[in-house]
Chains A and B, each alone.
Chain A
Amino acid sequence: MAKHLIPITNGKGSKTLTNGTYTVEAEVLGYDNASIDPTSIEIQEGNNSYTLQIAATGTLTLHVSDDGTDVGVPIIGATFKRCDSEGNEYGDEVTSDDSGNAVFNNVPYSETETPPTIYIKQTSSDGEHIFTDTLKEIVMNTETHTEEIVNVEAAEREFTITDKNYENLPISDGNITLS
């Protein structure tokens, strides 16, 4: 069988090939190369674009707390997304649970060579803690990895509510809801 190697950069690669049925193999660091899908493609006249998928098996846990340590107060409901190096978002949003853990499954890792960088962006916190939406770069050298994320407590704000028709008369009891 004739072998044709197509280098892939940023998700794309091109090559001039004859029509025919080809068996597909992958060489992607950090990914499970056996997961390439499909494993066979038929290159036909008039169709010059083919999409393949590959999966990884690493697990990345983002532990969100108020001090960025494993013993800090966990932040529940913080959300994260995977991104490319440009900050474009991909996949489903992942939310931190009662322990403050947001878990990304199927992420690339390598224990022997430098695997691809994983880009993560936080998209929200619990409303009472401050987060940054700058891209975080993570490199996984083990199949499972935990990264500490800090969301410090927001500053305390004071609200004054007075009677609209009686100047400066404080409202004695009640609640204000901000959403």
Chain B
Amino acid sequence: MNYKIKCKLYNSIDVFLYKIFIYNKLGNKIIECESDNLGITNFILNECGTYKLKIIPIDKNINKYCKIINFDKNYPKELTFYFKKDCLKSSKITITLKDKYYNLPIQKGNIILWLNT
């Protein structure tokens, strides 16, 4: 059976590139493929059943995605997964601000970061 997977950012027409891995219920990887420039992958499953789908975006700002899917006869042949903006990864960063010529820690001040969109 042929399946088609699309991945898009939620509320956006933007597509993104990713790799897709499909594991059978024994945990063996049976399919590994990369999306085309439109963010679409096509793959063939020889038989129905429960598979684990793992999507790893090429853009590291977007979280990995895993889902257990029962690909049976009723399952849609074309699937679109939406990745919400809020699944952009965030982490606590520490800024160290020093005097350029003395390597001295700056006593007090502010750093302002503007996220480029």
Residue pairs across A and B with Cβ atoms less than 8 A apart, 9 shown, are A6-B112, A8-B109, A15-B113, A19-B90, A26-B109, A27-B109, A29-B109, A48-B92, A106-B102
Whether the Cβ atoms of A22 and B114 lie closer than 8 Å is yes
Binding site for A on B (CB under 8 A): 60-61, 88-117
The verdict on A171 contacting chain B, using a C-beta distance below 8 Å, is no
Whether the Cβ atoms of A8 and B108 lie closer than 8 Å is yes
Contacts A20-B115, A26-B110, A26-B112 known; A6 to B95 CB distance under 8 Å? yes
The verdict on A174 contacting chain B, using a C-beta distance below 8 Å, is no
Whether the Cβ atoms of B101 and A13 lie closer than 8 Å is no
- Other-chain residue from B96, B113, B114 in contact with A51 (beta carbon distance below 8 A): B96
CA distance A45 to B62 in the complex (A): 10
CA distance A69 to B47 in the complex (A): 95
Whether the Cβ atoms of B97 and A28 lie closer than 8 Å is yes
A59, chain B: closest CB distance, angstroms: 12
Closest to B115 in A: A2
B115, chain A: closest CB distance, angstroms: 4
- Other-chain residue from B91, B97, B113 in contact with A45 (beta carbon distance below 8 A): B91
Binding site for B on A (CB under 8 A): 1-29, 31, 35-37, 40-41, 43-45, 48-56, 82, 84-85, 90-91, 105-106, 116-117
Whether the Cβ atoms of B114 and A2 lie closer than 8 Å is yes
Whether the Cβ atoms of A3 and B112 lie closer than 8 Å is yes
Closest 6 CB pairs of A and B: A11-B105, A28-B109, A91-B102, A22-B113, A53-B100, A55-B100
